[in-house]
Amino acid sequence: MDEAAPNEKTLDDILAERLVRYDDLRPCTTAFIDTRTPGSQEKENFTIIGPGVAENPDQYVHIEEPHGFNIGGARQPPDCINSQHSHETAEVFIIHSGSWAFYLGPDCEDGEVVLGPGDTISIPVHVFRGFKNVGEGVGYMFAVLGGDNPGHVTWAPYVFESAAEYGLILLQDGSLVDTMKNETVPEGKRAMSATTQEDVAKLRRMTSDEIAECVVLRDDLHLDSAGVTTATGFRERPIIGASSPGEGLGAGKMAWPHGFHLRYVALNPGARCKRHARDEEEVILMQEGELTLHFDEGDVVIGPGDVFTVPVGKSRSFSNGSTELTEAYIVRGGDHPLPARLLE
């Protein structure tokens, strides 16, 4: 590799700022108010890009640069539960491994759906949701939250009751006080009021049939041949977001505004896309196989569970140099991202 001029970034500089390997993820096991609730103690939360919604100021953020959306992750052993809550912005999960049940309603009573690797769910705002690893091994999900600041979580009433029993108090600024460590509410701050039944009544309720319309299954992406370019062996399918006529792609099944688009990308062995640049943030969430990213500064190979955010406007191309199919999910910023600008 040629020596970089002063003020120019090397490939190592770019990777240090932009690449998060799955094996390098730094979890937080005390991110939320339900961290001591029986059945939830073993869950691991990750903030990969942006601050997320963690209630523990010690939660490690891998990439702080604002993208207009947040990327996170959840990893849980079998039978581990994430308690019922709602969000102020879009929340999307892409199952990387394991089998996951999503429950709706303040007490899991409204409906559920079970998803597996490669499946995607977009849960509308102001809907109580929770999830559980119902598989036999440790499972991991990518998470995408809308906005640079997704706001605070609204917990179901029972979550506050259980947290108090185990010594945790949630403050109005979203932080936690641990009374088992002899912590007290700091001067000038106030405890958040527990969610009431009146609060619950203001939120949306959804059935199993309704949440099914907010799901795209991996099998559906494989069976649908639209978006395949046989000359290059490259396939891109819309999951979330409006249509993109300039790319010849229709709207995703979840076409309502999220503040970002989500696409499924597959490359056959030996496939390579043309060199191009984009005017929005583009984050690659690796599902299976390996993907080689080609930059002017050099190449890098990423694998399952890795996350890479490509700088806006940067020249890049992607290829699959392996003998197996490569699959990834790509998040692009904005409700109407522009087509790629071809550079060759």
pLDDT tens profile 109-158? 999 999 999 999 999 999 999 999 999 999 999 999 999 999 889 999 99
Q: What tens digit of pLDDT does each residue of 265-309 get?
A: 999 999 999 999 999 999 999 999 999 999 999 999 999 999 999
> Do 128 and 58 form a contact (C-beta atoms < 8 A)?
no
* Mean per-residue pLDDT, 183-199: 93
Does the pTM exceed 0.85? Answer: yes
Q: What is the pLDDT of residue 341?
A: 94
Cα–Cα–Cα angle for 278, 281, 287, nearest 5°? 100
% the chain with pLDDT above 70 = 95
Predicted confidence (pLDDT) per residue in 61-80, tens digit: 999 999 999 999 999 999 99
Strand order in the sheet with 111-115: 111-115, 100-104, 129-133, 81-86, 154-155
All domains of the chain, ordered by start, with CATH? 23-215 (2.60.120.10), 218-342 (2.60.120.10)
Identify the residue whose tokens are 């959306």. Answer: 69
Residues contacting residue 326 through CB under 8 Å, at least 6 positions apart: 266, 267, 271, 288, 289, 290, 291, 320
pLDDT exceeds 80 at position 340: yes
Rounded Cα distance between 333 and 11, Å, is 23
Give the containing element (helix H, strand E) for 13. Answer: helix 11-18
Give CA–CA dist 208/334, Å, rounded.
29
Q: Which residue do the tokens 């999220």 mark?
A: 258
- Give the per-residue pLDDT at 223: 56
Confidence of residue 1 (pLDDT cuts 50, 70, 90): very low
Residues found in the chain = 344
The pLDDT-based confidence of 230 (bands split at 50, 70, 90) is: very low
Please report which confidence band the pLDDT of residue 196 belongs to, taking 50, 70 and 90 as the band edges. Answer: very high
Listed range (8-22, 46-60, 138-152, 212-226) with the worst mean pLDDT:
212-226
Separation CA 207–CA 111 (nearest Å): 5
pLDDT greater than 60 at residue 229: no
With beta carbons less than 8 A apart as the criterion, state whether 69 and 331 touch: yes
Instruction: Tell me: pLDDT of 228 over 50.
Output: no
